[in-house]
Amino acid sequence: MDLTKGYRPLIEDGNTIGLWPAPAAVWESQYAHKLRGFNKRWITFLVSVFIALLVLVSYRPREITRTLSSTTSSSAPGAWPSAVLVNGTTFLKPRDFKLIGILFFGRRASVSILECYLRANLVSHGGFLDEMHFVVNTDKKDDIAWLDQMVAQDKDYKRVDLEGGPYPKYNPIYDQVFERNHMYIKMDDDMVRKAVPLSLSNLLTAVPFQVWMNPLAIPELVNTKLNHPESFVVLGSLINSATMAWVQYRLGAVYSYLPERRPPVLTSSPQGTGNDSYGPKAWRASALPTWQSADGERRFEEFPQKPEGVKKAPIGSDFGPPYANHRWLPLRDEDRHITETPIAHSQYNPFGQSWRQWTIAAQQHYSLLENLEKGLVSKYYVGHDGIWNLRYERGNINLIAIWGDDIMDNIPLKESGGDGKDEQQISIILPKKLHRRMCTPTE
């Protein structure tokens, strides 16, 4: 029996003077020492694998439910709606008043496209709107029946019937629908024919209408209205707005595009959905071919404007769409010819060329798609505080934020003066009378 096992010699001046208790690693056999080291490394490996698996199992990637980099409110049960605005700040939905959406319902075709954005903006779906009211302004029975089916699908949708029936003058609508102590987001169903950073339409692809609404559109409107209590009304920043076309062109947000003269020869997909450059799913500017003249050359030729006094631009006419569902194509010439494209004729005038010429709207829409694809929506931003002051010029009220009190304090709206329309009253006459400006957030 080895009595020295478990001890190590204590040596002094080369002489062993005694034994000293030693750790097992010193006296154990070489084989045991290697085995213990192997077990230690194996245990470390297993622990590392376990931790890695635990991390992978518990990890949940953030669900992307919104377009661009904008972050909007959470729809988690019990979560109070919030939005991360363009400037990076977190904006909580106000708690001390209701936000009610009002939409004048007159066109089923338009609302059927817009509805998904309206639903996404409800509080029950993570948005800011407590309620969405549809004011019936049509007598088409099929359209009204469709509206009833849609309203029945969501508890926060509400149908509103006007006491005098459809097609009244504007006073009955505002008098019956608006109430005090609420903020209203008033919308027109033809917003599908307008556009933003808020909405987009008439892309002239293989479908008659398309729309895009920035997920931050309504939070930005509300935030701007609260930060600018001196304003009478805050307008949404629209593409295909008669005055804002002129502004956006000079901000560099519009590019050189012209209509394609002849239908393309394409091989359609088996599902008949077209390809990346043509069809109902085509929207990316990078997939479009470069524009060519009618003879197939790069020779530039200006597209004719619609003559003064002519209301419609028939397909195939000299100044109308070259063919049904045609495309607009980029010149890709570093905008050397942009002054000879339709946007150059835009005017800062609510009834100017931007309002009359369909070509200006088409060029704006295709430019917006290019900016969306490239992540350049910031090109539409203007002003040191992100506000465009219309200085009592007339503006589109297709999408506005306004206090119910400001409407009720000024009912009845004066239906004389200007053209007698509510747009004239809300965007010019009342702001001037009350010395309260009308502004547009451009961020």
Q: What is the pLDDT of residues 231-278, one digit of tens each?
A: 999 988 888 777 888 888 998 999 999 999 888 877 655 455 556 777
Mean pLDDT (the chain, rounded): 77
Query: Given a cut of 90, is residue 315 above it in pLDDT?
Result: no
pLDDT tens figures, 96-114 = 999 999 998 988 888 988 8
Average pLDDT, stretch 38-58?
A: 59
**Averaged pLDDT, 392-401:** 87
Residue 10 has pLDDT above 60, yes or no: no
What pLDDT score does 24 carry? 45
Q: Which is more confident, 221 or 75?
A: 221
DSSP state of 378: G
Phi and psi based region of residue 267 (left: phi greater than 0; alpha: psi -120 to 50; beta: remaining) = beta
Residue range 381-396: average pLDDT?
79
Write down the pLDDT at residue 209: 47
Average pLDDT of span 108-132 = 92
Largest distance between two CA atoms of the chain: 121
Cis peptide before 412 (omega within 30 of 0): yes
pLDDT of residue 94: 94
Single out the residue of 361, 441, 349 nearest to residue 195, CA to CA. Answer: 361
Structure confidence at residue 15 (pLDDT): 55
Which residues lie below 8 Å from residue 105, measured CB to CB, with a gap of 6+? Answer: 111, 134, 135, 136, 137, 138, 143, 147, 189
- Per-residue DSSP letter, 1: -
| First and final C-alpha spacing in the chain | 88
Average pLDDT over residues 377-381: 85
Contact by Cβ (8 Å): 194, 241? yes
